[in-house]
Structure 1
Amino acid sequence: MATWSNLMLQNSSSPLKEQLIFFYDNSMLILTLITVFIMYMMLTLIYNKISNKYMIEHQMIELIWTIFPAFFLIFIGIPSIHLLYLLDESNSPSISLKIIGHQWYWSYEYSDFKNIEFDSYMLPSNSPEYFRLLDVDNRIILPMNIQIRALISSSDVIHAWTVPSLGVKVDAMPGRLNQVNFYINRPGLFFGQCSEICGANHSFMPISVEGINLNYFINWINKN
């Protein structure tokens, strides 16, 4: 989860999030090199005492500042397109989770297991044993190391089901069914929130995902 001292992205809990972090680092490296180079050139022009007032064009300079940005766009664009298709790829999911957004709470359904359904509301903020504005009364329980498919829609307005540490952010739109696949590779408690401005209580519909061992997940399913 995000903390006050967290200046970078949240730690990854899925392979998709790892790829997003790699792409972010790659893009930031390129942007940093460009920024440093431009600053160096600007300072050079400012403090340079030698100038040629008769030079109005130069073919080689124009060729360089046209080709170099094209190479930078290729270095950013190819990984971006690869990651975009990777995020939409469906790899034979073992579990399907139906998610419905409401004003202002989430509903979940495990349609593969006896149609387990429940609503998830934010807990009161005056409870010291819970995470303020992030914890819910009914958490999503999901197993680790299994491909999971989430089917997301809305019953009223546009919401967005977002869990940053899993690299998941999908719009929940009324009358439309969106899907996303993700894979939890470590146990833990992962928090998210609605990322679409959906009304007065938009900031009070958090998401809480608990990743557990497969055997514990089967026992939880049998008890519900």
Structure 2
Amino acid sequence: MKKIFAGATALAAFFTTAVAFADQPRPWQWRFQEAATGIMEQIEWFERYTLWFIIPITLLVLALLGWCIFRFRASVNPVPSRTSHNTLIEVIWTVGPVVILLFLAIPSFQLLTAQYTPPEEPKLTIKATGNQWNWDYEYQVEEPLSFNSALLADDARAAAGKEDLGVFPRLLAVDNEVVVPVDTTVRVLVTAADVMHAFAMPAFGVKTDAVPGRVNEIWFKAKKEGLYYGQCSELCGKDHAYMPIAIRVVSDAQYNTWFTAAKTDLNGANKALMAAVDGNRNVAAAGN
């Protein structure tokens, strides 16, 4: 019995880890993806915080509307009031919203400041250029690495070793993922080569427009290893829906190995990295 329980615990831990350490859109999803960065955690907190104001205000307005409809309907109030001034009511509906807006504005500005203020100087800078309908990435280091990332065609899955739709979903999987090290502040310079696009990664809490002739800057610091998916979020033409973004977060050692190999053989480096990640997953599944 103890062995069965230990095996079940290890298996449960594996699946829990698989879900927690990567995220992607889910069918009928109505909440945020699981946060993978500190900024996304702050966004989730702010959303819960605002609901403490939004829900009571919505219920209050609904109740007042219902009361007015019932209390002042024509059948019971044939002669309407001609009141044009009430100092107390005017003070309440002026001061009340101002106080509420202050409670919303202060944490909102704090979050906005954090989104544009990295906690440290970014250790890695990547330029992302949106095209109709794919992304060009350039690692801006001493020896730059550049590659294109496009939607993975169904007939190319086998050759790429990406046949598992659970890990590489249809319409989200790409041929070449962006690879970054975990717990590292990454700067992303976002622009476009033709029309407006938008670089969005929900689990990281980042989203910015890609505008031709302009460079916008965002940053993230992923705290969990895994494969994360986003999409272009600006209507950019007929294939806008087929312009995914995929970022793979790995350990420092895995990133360094991948980057060194990718300079001469990107496909080989990607496959080697996938094998290393799958190997770690198999070890976790075995409970070792």
Does TM, normalized by the shorter one, top 0.5? yes
AA matched with 2:194 = D
Name 2:112's counterpart in structure 1. 84
CA contact (8 A) 1:125 1:133 kept: no
Distance 1:125 1:74, change over 3 A: farther
Aligned-partner Cα distance in 2 for 1:177–1:57: 53
Rounded Cα–Cα distance in structure 1 between residues aligned with 2:259 and 2:54: 48
> In terms of mean alpha carbon deviation, does 89-98 or 137-146 score higher?
89-98
- Partner of 1:92, secondary structure, is coil
**Counterpart of 1:101?**
130
Taking structure 2 as the reference length, what is the TM-score of the superposition? 0.73
Q: Distance in 1 between matches of 2:199 and 2:184?
A: 20
> Aligned residues: percent identity?
31
Partner of 2:87: 59
- Hey, what's the Cα distance between the residues in 1 that align with 2:227 and 2:239? 23
Q: Is the 1:113–1:221 Cα contact (8 Å) retained in structure 2?
A: no
Question: Deviation digits for residues 119-168 of structure 1, max 9, x if unmatched?
Answer: 00101246553311000000011111011101111111111111111011
Q: Structure 1 residues 104 and 57, CA, compared in 2 at 3 Å: closer, same or farther? A: same
Which structure 1 segments of 5+ residues have no match? Answer: none
1:123 and 2:163 correspond: no
Residue 67 of structure 1 aligns to a residue in which SS?
helix
109-118 vs 185-194, greater mean Cα deviation: 109-118
Greater Cα radius of gyration, structure 1 or 2: 2
> Unpaired segments of 5 or more residues in structure 2?
1-23, 158-162, 263-288
RMSD: 1.9
Matched residue, 1:208: 246
- Report the Cα distance in structure 2 between the residues aligned to 1:32 and 1:164, rounded to whole angstroms: 24
Look up the equivalent residue of 1:117 and give its one-letter code: S
Q: Counting strand residues as a fraction of each chain, which structure ranks higher?
A: 1
Q: 1:174 aligns with which of 184, 203, 212?
A: 212
Aligned length: 224
